[in-house]
């Protein structure tokens, strides 16, 4: 897909969203709040992207350091072996096997770094889904207070209470809010 097609597709999505908002009958204040929340979310996502890029940069640095250490280690081992009183045949066997040993260790280290990166990304995605689900449930208006919603739903989603409370901070009150006037 070329850039023009992507821009056309983006414009079509924007037009569909405008129509959806128009049909929903939001007030000007509600639209402003919606725009501000979207802007805030975009800022959050930019920050997350920057942190992810920083983490990738650190992983690249770690891999570069591993390569440098490999070279230094090979040199030290060769120098050490040369200083020992071993037969040339034994030294040659060790020299031939050393790169393979180092390569296996390097692959193991890189695999571990990749596994940790995937786990981190998966946990972040799951956390975002849980927070979004919590906000959607709150928006349905079936809970009298945010704390009631947090106490019930956080257990179901496997979230900490503090994390769930933070996820609902700044969210608008549900509209309609049938549970608002109910008693516990």
The pLDDT tens digits of the residues spanning 70-85 come to: 888 888 887 777 776 6
Quick check: 168 and 134 in contact, CB under 8 A? yes
Distance CA 184, CA 182 (A): 7
Overall pTM surpassing 0.75 (yes/no)? no
What is the pLDDT, as a whole number, of residue 184? 61
Q: Which residue has the tokens 């009958």?
A: 25
**Between 174 and 21, the higher pLDDT residue:** 174
What is the pLDDT, as a whole number, of residue 85? 61
Structure tokens at 63: 């891999």
């Amino acid at each position: 897909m070329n850039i023009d097609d992507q821009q056309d597709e983006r414009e079509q999505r924007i037009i569909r969203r405008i129509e959806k908002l128009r049909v929903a009958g939001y007030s000007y204040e509600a639209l402003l709040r919606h725009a501000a929340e979207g802007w805030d979310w975009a800022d959050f996502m930019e920050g997350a992207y920057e942190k992810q890029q920083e983490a990738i940069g650190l992983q690249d640095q770690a891999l570069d350091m591993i390569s440098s250490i490999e070279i230094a280690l090979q040199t030290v081992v060769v120098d050490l072996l040369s200083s020992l009183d071993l037969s040339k045949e034994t030294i040659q066997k060790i020299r031939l096997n050393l790169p393979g040993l180092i390569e296996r260790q390097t692959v193991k280290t890189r695999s571990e770094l990749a596994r940790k990166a995937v786990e981190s990304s998966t946990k972040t995605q799951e956390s975002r889904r849980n927070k979004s689900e919590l906000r959607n449930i709150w928006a349905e208006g079936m809970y009298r207070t945010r704390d009631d919603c947090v106490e019930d739903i956080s257990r179901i989603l496997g979230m900490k209470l503090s994390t769930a409370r933070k996820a609902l901070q700044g969210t608008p009150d549900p509209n309609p809010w049938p549970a608002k006037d109910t008693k516990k």
